[in-house]
Amino acid sequence: MNEVLEMQCPVPIREYPQVLMAHGGGGRLMHALVERMFGVAFANPILDRRHDAAVLPASSHRLAFTTDSYVVRPLFFPGGDLGSLAIHGTVNDLVMSGARPQYLSAGFILEEGLPMEVLWRVVLSMRHAAAQSGVMIVTGDTKVVDAGAGDGLFINTTGLGLIEHSLTIDPRSVAVGDAVLISGDVGRHGMAVMAMREGLEFESAIESDSASVAEPVLAMVRAGMELHCLRDLTRGGLTASLNEIAEASSMSIRITEEAVPVRGDVSAACEILGLDVLQVACEGRFVAFVPEAEAERALAILKAHPVSAGAVRIGTVESKDGAEVVAQGVLGRDRVLPMPSGEQLPRIC
């Protein structure tokens, strides 16, 4: 890993310091970009065959299959960047069905004029994140759009994972009495990105929580745990994820607001901007629904992994009617947490 991280960008940056239309044109420049940047950074036996399609071994296991596109701004933020996010996000989506992530595709949409050095940093970050998550990037695509027609760089990743268990990890498996666990503190990714927006800037030590959560989830699967449902927290934060599950399972979920871990600085940043931390985006956090009897064991496994060391129980699945998410507030009063309505805007006055 280190030797590659230290290595210079293999595409001759001095010749082409910025992406040109020709880098997507199918000719010599595109070939150089694919071979010498993507091919080198993502090298593995399947990608190295350079077929139009990656040829993968078949398996008798069920497959998990997911896709996501990544457009975050800025490209680099404290604790991560677009590249690591594009790996972690898709890996985590696979993991939420208890699958072992194996193969990813990577589609790049580059805007003409994107500094080649920026692309190289993002690609290296993807390489690093893929290695850490135990996945191979086995196929890909590159397109270049005219200057002004894109916003620097967009990435799509599609992932395949093997389901090596017989559970149905799905909102439909959620049952009354299930314990609701969260893998760590919330709101860090959203606030790390917010801190960099022109006009809203603030200084803090807040870093994105962007990470693969494959290890703790697969450890729970290996331990034979009866997992009912898993859901990663992304846009819309905890509130959105719980509402999705409540709706899909037709169950009401009750959480204790104070039990949800929030770092002091994240909570302070939300106070200043008037945001509800329960709706702020995360990129390395998930909720787990497990039977009451499994809750302690699940927490012990989660806490044994650094990425989920802050895991705690936040609530319980309460009833079969309502499909509502209810939070008990600091004063002991209940309120409904409705599905967030679009992006939260800073509330100043």
Partner 1 sequence: MKYVAEYRDPAWARRLSEEVARVVTRPWTLMEVCGGQTHSIVKHGVDAMLPTGIELIHGPGCPVCVTPVGLIDAALHIAAMPGVMFCSFGDMLRVPGTRGDLLSAKAAGAEVRIVYSPLDAVQLASRHPERQVVFFGVGFETTAPATALAVAQAASRGLTNFSLLVSHVRVPPAMEALLSTPGCRVQGFLAAGHVCAVMGTAEYESIAARHRVPIVVTGFEPVDLLRGVLCCVRQLESGRHEVENEYPRAVRDGGNEPAQGWMKEVFRVVSREWRGMGILPGSGLGLAEPYARFDALLRFGIRSEGASPETECSSGLILQGRLRPPECPAFGTRCTPEHPLGATMVSSEGACAAYHRYRRPKGRT
Partner 2 sequence: MCLAVPGRLLRVQGEEALWRTGRVDFGGVIKEVSLACVPEVRPGEYVMVHAGVAISRLDEEEALRLLDSLRSIQGLSDSGEEDP
Contacts to partner 1 by CB under 8 A:
197-200, 264, 267-268, 271-274, 322, 324, 326, 329-336, 338, 341-342, 345-349
Contact status, residue 228 vs residue 174, Cβ threshold 8 Å:
yes
State the amino acid at position 22 in one-letter form.
Answer: A
Give the span between the Cα atoms of 262 and 72, in whole angstroms: 23
Stretch that binds partner 2, among 120-128, 268-276, 295-303, 310-318 (CB under 8 A): 268-276
Give the span between the Cα atoms of 91 and 104, in whole angstroms: 8
Helix (H/G/I), strand (E/B), else coil: 160: strand
* Residue in the block written with tokens 């809750």: 295
Contact status, residue 295 vs residue 182, Cβ threshold 8 Å:
no
Stretch that binds partner 2, among 3-11, 125-133, 264-272, 307-315 (CB under 8 A): 264-272
- CA dist 124 → 34, 155, 172, 251, 267 (Å): 14, 14, 39, 43, 32
Residue 330 interface partner, choices partner 1, partner 2, none, CB cut-off 5-8 Å depending on type: partner 1
Rule CB under 8 A: choose which of 44, 132, 204, 250 binds partner 2: 204
Stretch that binds partner 2, among 84-92, 136-144, 218-226, 257-265 (CB under 8 A): 257-265
Q: Does residue 264 belong to the site contacting partner 2 (CB under 8 A)? A: yes
Give the span between the Cα atoms of 322 and 332, in whole angstroms: 21
* 261-264: Cβ within 8 A, 24+ apart: 261/182, 261/184, 261/185, 261/186, 261/310, 261/312, 262/185, 262/186, 262/187, 263/185, 263/187, 263/188, 263/206
State the amino acid at position 55 in one-letter form.
Answer: V
Q: Does residue 244 belong to the site contacting partner 2 (CB under 8 A)? A: no
Residue 224 interface partner, choices partner 1, partner 2, none, CB cut-off 5-8 Å depending on type: none
Q: Does residue 329 belong to the site contacting partner 2 (CB under 8 A)? A: no
State the nearest-atom distance from the C-beta of 347 to partner 2, in Å: 6
The residue (of 3 and 201) whose beta carbon lies closer to partner 1 is: 201
The residue (of 200 and 300) whose beta carbon lies closer to partner 1 is: 200
Q: Does residue 58 belong to the site contacting partner 2 (CB under 8 A)? A: no
State the nearest-atom distance from the C-beta of 206 to partner 2, in Å: 8
Q: Does residue 205 belong to the site contacting partner 2 (CB under 8 A)? A: yes
Stretch that binds partner 2, among 33-41, 266-274, 293-301, 311-319 (CB under 8 A): 266-274
State the nearest-atom distance from the C-beta of 188 to partner 1, in Å: 17
Q: Does residue 332 belong to the site contacting partner 2 (CB under 8 A)? A: no
Contact status, residue 180 vs residue 313, Cβ threshold 8 Å:
yes
Rule CB under 8 A: choose which of 18, 105, 267, 319 binds partner 2: 267
Give the span between the Cα atoms of 268 and 201, in whole angstroms: 14
State the nearest-atom distance from the C-beta of 268 to partner 2, in Å: 4
Q: Does residue 331 belong to the site contacting partner 2 (CB under 8 A)? A: no
Give the span between the Cα atoms of 128 and 146, in whole angstroms: 29
Question: Binding residues for partner 2, per CB under 8 A?
Answer: 202-206, 263-265, 267-269, 271-272, 274, 347-349
